[in-house]
Amino acid sequence: MTTGIPAVVAPPPRIAAVVRYVVWVGIVAHAGFVPMFVALGCPRLAVFNVASVSVWIAAALVSRRGRSTLAMGLIVVEVVVHAALAVGTLGWASGFQYYLLPLIPFVMFNDRLRGATVVAISAGVFAALIALRAVAPETAGAVQGVFGPVLRYANLAIPVLALALVSFYFRRASTQAEQRMESMAHTDPLTGLLNRRSMEQRLREAAQLFQRTGRSFCVVMADVDHFKRINDVHGHEAGDRVLRSVAALLSDRLRVHDAVARWGGEEFLLLLPETDLDIARDVADRLRATAEARLREAAGFDQNVTLTFGVAVFDRPMRVDACLKTADEALYAGKASGRNRVVSTLPAA
């Protein structure tokens, strides 16, 4: 049985984006190490780096197939083994231990791992670094000529680059999360319009502006006619489609400084700053006519879809909720008199 509620699709893990770019750093770096180790007379390290390139390519492939945690595991294991083998062969001064440092934030960035797992892996990496410092010789295999400074600087620059990539994506993920939370706090998830709470704040600000400047504003309540029948006959998915179509219509045809919100259910609220009652009625009537002409096609089923509007003006000292009540009364007067119309009711003196 179809409920009309869209399935929630889990977003890709954050670590996937990091893996996608870090693997290229690893592939290029290890491929470059192969001829260098051959020139240094370290065939075992050269062969190991050929295998390392294969591991990083495999990590890229499994991450692309949605198994980014496995890709992360392959990278962590390869880096730890590579650092141990290289430092043991060439000594601590070669700088290969620095590749362990980006692994800790790299692992912590994986939001699909349990906290205990992250702590355990990070502690293991840190322990490997301490163990290498304790047992590795200061210098071992000779790194002569131009390879000495090249190796030291490369082994500092490449881990810093990897750390910068991890930090960049952590910053971007944090910013995106904040933006999503901000959007959820102020918008209606179905229509993308302002939600009731956000519109209430806009109305308070408009009332405060009136107190300072005397500039009137209007509120317009719009309601989808016979919305329950639409849901009952065509299903909730069709009802949601109607609400999104109404939201798009209202948003597209208002001025830049106007505001529109989903007020609740099938009700929408428009805020028209610096607008008198006659202009607000004209705006509402144009919206009503456009809705009558276009919503049926946008909704995608064989039933007329119309809107009824109630208009009220805030042009004298009063409470915002009194103005809203006036618009609501006008809306229900329009419903009672046949729907698909615009009604305005002046507030009681």
Q: Note the pLDDT of residue 81.
A: 94
Tell whether 59 and 153 lie within a shared domain. yes
Q: Note the pLDDT of residue 283.
A: 95
Tell whether 233 and 93 lie within a shared domain. no
Tell whether 223 and 158 lie within a shared domain. no
Half-sphere exposure of 312 (CA within 13 A, CB side): 27
Closest CA to 242 of 306, 304, 299: 299
Domain range enclosing 61: 14-185
Tell whether 165 and 202 lie within a shared domain. no
Q: Note the pLDDT of residue 216.
A: 92
Residue 136 lies in a domain: yes
Q: Note the pLDDT of residue 246.
A: 95
Distance (Å, whole) CA 120 – CA 108: 11
Residue 60 lies in a domain: yes
Tell whether 267 and 166 lie within a shared domain. no
Distance (Å, whole) CA 41 – CA 43: 6
pTM for this prediction: 0.56
Tell whether 219 and 260 lie within a shared domain. yes
Question: Which residue's structure tokens are 């410092």?
Answer: 133
DSSP-assigned beta bridge partners for residue 310? 221, 343
Q: Within its chain, how far is the Cα of 236 from the centroid?
A: 26
Q: Note the pLDDT of residue 240.
A: 92
Tell whether 209 and 233 lie within a shared domain. yes
Distance (Å, whole) CA 317 – CA 271: 17
Residue 339 lies in a domain: yes
Residue 190 lies in a domain: no
**162 and 25 in contact (C-beta within 8 Å)?**
yes
Full strand arrangement of the beta sheet holding 259-264: 259-264, 267-273, 217-224, 307-314, 342-344
Residue 7 lies in a domain: no
Q: Within its chain, how far is the Cα of 102 from the centroid?
A: 25
Tell whether 164 and 245 lie within a shared domain. no
Residue 156 lies in a domain: yes
Distance (Å, whole) CA 111 – CA 134: 33
Tell whether 181 and 225 lie within a shared domain. no
Residue 24 lies in a domain: yes
| 25-56 burial: b if 16+ Cβ within 10 Å, else e | bbbebbeebbebbeebebeebbebbeebbebb
Q: How many domains does the chain have?
A: 2
Each residue's pLDDT, cut to its tens digit, for the chain (349 residues) gives: 333 334 333 445 677 878 888 888 889 989 998 998 888 888 999 999 999 999 999 999 998 888 888 999 999 999 999 999 999 888 888 889 999 988 888 888 887 888 899 899 999 999 999 999 998 887 766 565 566 677 778 888 888 888 887 778 777 777 776 766 666 667 898 999 999 999 999 999 999 999 999 999 999 999 999 999 898 888 888 899 999 999 999 999 888 899 999 999 999 999 999 999 999 999 999 999 999 988 877 767 777 899 999 999 998 888 999 999 999 999 999 999 999 999 997 654 4
